[in-house]
């Protein structure tokens, strides 16, 4: 058993926090997925207004989660930040650009004297919903397949010794890493498994977006068309997901020798992690079943409209457990395909004991934040979105998107 104040415990604790934030980020991609239907389902001005406004009440949650995820990763595992954010910068810049487009679009789409026109901002929202989500999947996929970087372990030791005395993350972390790929992050697009995960996440977000419309919008025509679209997108998502999981379970993984900390390749590593952590495997299976049940409710049930919560909750469990097998059980969560021994684990890439301990005290406020988000969600979702709701907001001078 871990001692609750030990470095080993805190490293595992903060990886759980990272896994939770990653799962929340994927859950909130229903916003991006819904945006990709602006032109398919929003053929009438009324339908487009319903879609934009029902998503506009939630878009900040996904954006905030992305920022929090990046900040938590930097504070708890700064060496990953040094390797990926400074080396694979084109992938991250494109991702952040997609989310900037989203923020600008919701802010200015319906402003008076909009010189670009609402259609331009609708295109921006589509780019955010498709390319942005695809890039998230590709970047996460590279955490399973690897990236071309090198870590100078001797210099890293000096930097970590400095942080032990100062209690802060050193600003020289980027100097200990070097990226050996010519495309600076876009190399991830050359791996079929990364591309597969990117498209899997795109179609998952589209399914969640459609389920959200079914749950929140009251318009019979939009409801029928959403169910029809859901059947096709659910088929594509399930097919891609099964292929990805099959490839993941069959591939060699990056294992760590517990006694020497040497990194080596282990056949069926991620499948072994599931089997050696049965509780995590059970949560994964429950998540998969919950997603399938939610998709079935949305596509075929004409009475129940709660498929969004089953599918969204299941997606949360699936992503959470995938991150656990990525970082736990002596596994390199960010492997180097250029120099195997440069691969990052939660042990060799974390902040020092003091930093993790202080941040752990701060993390005790997370339940309060979650409670606040739940309260805001409840307040904004007390009524379903329909034509009458839009007209009421317009009369009361409530900002419409």
> From the DSSP assignment, how many helices (H) and strands (E) are in the chain?
18, 4
323-354 pLDDT, tens digit each: 999 999 999 999 998 889 889 999 988 888 88
2-24-253 Cα angle (round to 5):
60
Spatial separation of the C-alpha atoms in residues 331 and 100, rounded to whole Å? 34
CA distance to 112, 145, 268, 272, 276, per residue, from 252 (Å): 56, 9, 5, 11, 16
Confidence (pLDDT) at 16:
94
295-296-301 Cα angle (round to 5):
120
Low-confidence spans in the chain with pLDDT less than 50: 1-4, 162, 164-171
Spatial separation of the C-alpha atoms in residues 364 and 379, rounded to whole Å? 25
Determine if the pTM surpasses 0.95: no
CA distance to 35, 202, 230, 308, per residue, from 297 (Å): 22, 20, 10, 9
Helix axes 307-327, 278-300, angle to 10 degrees: 150
Q: Which one-letter DSSP state was computed for residue 264?
A: E
253 beta partners = 266
As a 3-state breakdown, the chain gives helix, strand, coil percent values, each rounded to 5, of: 70, 5, 25
CA distance to 47, 177, 182, per residue, from 213 (Å): 11, 45, 42
């Amino acid at each position: 058993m871990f001692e609750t104040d030990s470095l080993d415990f805190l490293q595992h604790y903060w990886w759980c926090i990272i896994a939770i934030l990653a799962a929340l980020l994927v859950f909130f991609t229903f916003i991006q997925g819904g945006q990709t239907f602006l032109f398919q389902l929003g053929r009438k001005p009324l339908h487009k207004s319903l879609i934009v406004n029902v998503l506009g009440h939630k878009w900040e949650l996904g954006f905030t989660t992305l920022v929090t995820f990046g900040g938590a990763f930097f504070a708890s595992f700064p060496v990953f930040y040094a390797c990926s954010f400074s080396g694979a910068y084109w992938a991250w810049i494109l991702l952040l650009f997609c989310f900037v487009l989203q923020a600008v679009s919701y802010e200015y789409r319906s402003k008076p004297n909009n010189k670009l026109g609402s259609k331009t901002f609708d295109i921006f929202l589509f780019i955010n919903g498709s390319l942005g989500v695809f890039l998230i999947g590709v970047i996460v996929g590279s955490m399973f397949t690897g990236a071309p970087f090198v870590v100078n372990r001797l210099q890293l030791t000096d930097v970590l010794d400095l942080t032990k005395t100062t209690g802060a993350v050193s600003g020289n972390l980027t100097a200990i890493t070097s990226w050996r790929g010519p495309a600076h992050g876009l190399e991830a697009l050359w791996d079929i498994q990364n591309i597969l995960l990117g498209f899997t996440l795109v179609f998952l977000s589209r399914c969640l977006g459609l389920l959200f419309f079914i749950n929140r919008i009251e318009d019979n025509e939009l409801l029928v068309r959403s169910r029809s679209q859901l059947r096709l997108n659910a088929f594509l998502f399930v097919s891609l997901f099964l292929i990805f999981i099959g490839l993941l379970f069959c591939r060699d993984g990056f294992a760590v020798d517990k006694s020497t900390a040497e990194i080596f390749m282990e056949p069926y590593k991620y499948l072994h992690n599931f089997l050696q952590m049965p509780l995590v495997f059970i949560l994964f299976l429950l998540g998969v079943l919950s997603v399938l049940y939610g998709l079935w409710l949305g596509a075929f049930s004409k009475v129940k409209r709660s498929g969004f919560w089953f599918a969204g909750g299941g997606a949360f469990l699936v992503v959470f457990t995938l991150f656990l097998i990525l970082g736990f059980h002596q596994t390199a969560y960010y492997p180097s395909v250029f120099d195997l021994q440069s691969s990052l684990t939660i042990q060799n890439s974390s902040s020092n004991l003091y930093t993790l301990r202080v941040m752990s005290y701060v993390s005790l406020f997370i339940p309060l934040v979650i409670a606040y988000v739940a309260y805001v969600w409840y307040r904004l979702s007390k009524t379903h979105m329909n034509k009458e709701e839009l007209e009421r907001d317009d009369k009361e001078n409530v900002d419409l998107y």
